[in-house]
Copies of this chain bind each other. A is one copy, B any other.
Amino acid sequence: MKALIISADNFEDTELLVPYYRLKEEGIEVVVASLNHGAITGKHGYEVPVDKTLNEVNSDDYAILVLPGGAAPADVRKEPTALDITRDFFLKNKPVAAICHGPQVLISAGLMKGRRATCYKSVADELKEAGAIYEDLEVVVDANLVTSRQPGDLPAFMREMMKQLGL
């Protein structure tokens, strides 16, 4: 089983690294995709190697998509390839887990209409304007979609993310 994390520089470090290590704990191969080759650096200075650029990703290879927060989603949402990959996960009803500012990518992909979800408080208005049913909870699960608000929600976010994978 393989998992895909899409992010960019200035990601919220724990929101990328906690799922990254959690998936690996289960023996799942984790691929980090971003705009360019090399490495991406989090707001707190952690560096994560980029395994693939967005153009190199075949979404069929992955069982789940994880979208961490921080300032990274502001860059990721401008990339049509990232939006295509995200839509592909939804089309195939595969799990997508987005936290904090991560749901901004889902908004830009036009995937939030009528979906129950949460996000970082400063993103809530934008999420509602995109047609989502916003809930201020540590985790919201709507079919294939798992969303959380902030780093403190990571335990609940991980619990539901693993359930989506049957683990």
A residues touching B (Cβ–Cβ < 8 Å)?
A: 13-14, 17-18, 21-22, 24-25, 44-46, 154-156, 158-159
CB-based contact B14/A46 at 8 Å? yes
A12 CA to B46 CA, complexed, in Å: 11
- Given A13-B13, A44-B46: A158 touches B21 (CB 8 Å cut-off): yes
- Give which listed residue, B25, B44, B156, contacts A155 with CB less than 8 A: B25
Which residues does chain B contribute within 8 Å of A156, judged by CB atoms? 25
Extra contacts, 20 of them, besides A18-B21, A44-B44 (Cβ < 8 A), are A13-B44, A13-B46, A14-B14, A14-B17, A14-B21, A17-B18, A18-B18, A21-B154, A21-B155, A21-B158, A22-B25, A22-B155, A22-B158, A24-B155, A25-B154, A25-B155, A25-B156, A25-B159, A44-B45, A44-B46
A24 CA to B18 CA, complexed, in Å: 12
Which residues does chain B contribute within 8 Å of A24, judged by CB atoms? 155
CB-based contact A158/B25 at 8 Å? yes
Q: A76 CB to closest chain B CB, in angstroms? A: 22
A158 CA to B17 CA, complexed, in Å: 13
